[in-house]
Structure 1
Amino acid sequence: MSRAVLKNIMFCAASAALLAGCSPSVPDSGVPDTGAGVGFGSYEDYQQRQAARAAQASASSLPPAQAVSEEPLEGDLAAETQAVLDATRANSGEVPLEASPSNPPPEAVTNDAGISRENDFDAVGSQRSIEDDKARQAALREQYQVVQPTEVPTRSGASGPNIVEYALSTSHPKGRTIYNRIGFNLQARHTRNCAKYPSPDLAQEEFLAKGGPERDRLALDPDGDGYACSWDPAPFRAARAAAVSTQPAAGSETTTATE
């Protein structure tokens, strides 16, 4: 055997000895070595160990005996607690409602304060007669008053245009072109200038004061209907029509008296 082979054998033996000295030791599991190997111990011993662990865990979770006082409650707390318990047992003195198809239906509410019974003929008939209704209608007819429309009053201290008079002097609807409008960028100027007025009425007054409806220097009426911005004469016309419709016809009072 050559010298090189002997050196290799000696080197391998020394390395094996060093590795054996550096390897960690296997920890002790605490289970006595019975020589049966892992998983081959006695099943009775396993059950005993499990029972001991469960007993130890339950004992550690319970509070100590001295932590709970055995003295009775005293003072207002005990009285309030007892009162709540008594009220709960008594159910506030009312019999509990048990839902059942055999229960009688609840009583119907025949009348209540603030509910009119004018549509109930039986109820009204027992309270007043036909003669009473006639007398009531006659009294209401005597109190009825018709306010006759008058001319639009002139505002004191105001010399500007009157938009009410202007609305009643026109008859065409909003959006119908009556006057020609020529200019550049009318819609943009219209949007910008109309935003300066707090209300359409003020815009219409300014429009009429500046030469409208024939002229539109501020582009308040780009469609040429004679109405500035979103102003609409329809409400003023409707008010006049309603006032005229409430006027009694000629000779109606005489005819009623004759009848």
Structure 2
Amino acid sequence: MRKMLLIPAFGFVAACDTVAPVTDSGFNTPQYQAEREAQLAGQGAAGNPLLPPPAISQEQLNAEAGPAPFTTGDSATDIANQTAAALASTSAQPTAPVAVSSNGISNEQDFAAVSSSRSIQDDAALIQQNRQTYEVVAPTAVPQRGSDGQPNIVQYALTTTNPVGTQLYSRAGFNLQAKAQRNCAGYASPDQAQIDFLANGGPQRDRKGLDPDGDGFACGWDPSPFRSAVGN
């Protein structure tokens, strides 16, 4: 019984393994191959030209490539002007070359460069021209201070060494400070008071009472600035 059941089963499997016959339809047919070769040669199946593929959308290309520099409404002049402006903005401006010799110094300091541009005769002519325009100024004597008959307080200050207020000369009388204050008010400056003091017998004698403490300086005149100037 088991042998009889196995026989139909083997027959069913054998029927499934049978290779299907080749038909005249599909991609492997001689007719399809001939039409394909004709299409590649530029002819359709019926001898008509092969139709071009559909054009790609321009909007899609523009979206992928980024914004276009020019629009369809720009004229030829506008496009030319925009192109020139773009080229000018990207091109570097040339700089003037610096004249530098092979030694790394400027040509003005390079003897070889100078000698090639100026001869020895040119230098000699330039030296001669400078000698002709050169002028020697003879030194003259230092001008002397004009003498107007008045004492020189600068010279007097430099001949003294005592500080202000140190008595060197005797003074006699009453109320010397009050008298000096009253008399000193008649001068425009301590310098003028000192000149008048020296012109009338000072510092040994004080006829007008301008030096009550006997230090040799009238009306508070101070010789220190003159002494400091000489020391510097």
TM-score (norm 2): 0.38
Greater C-alpha radius of gyration:
2
Relative contact order higher in (CA < 8 Å, ≥ 6 apart): 1
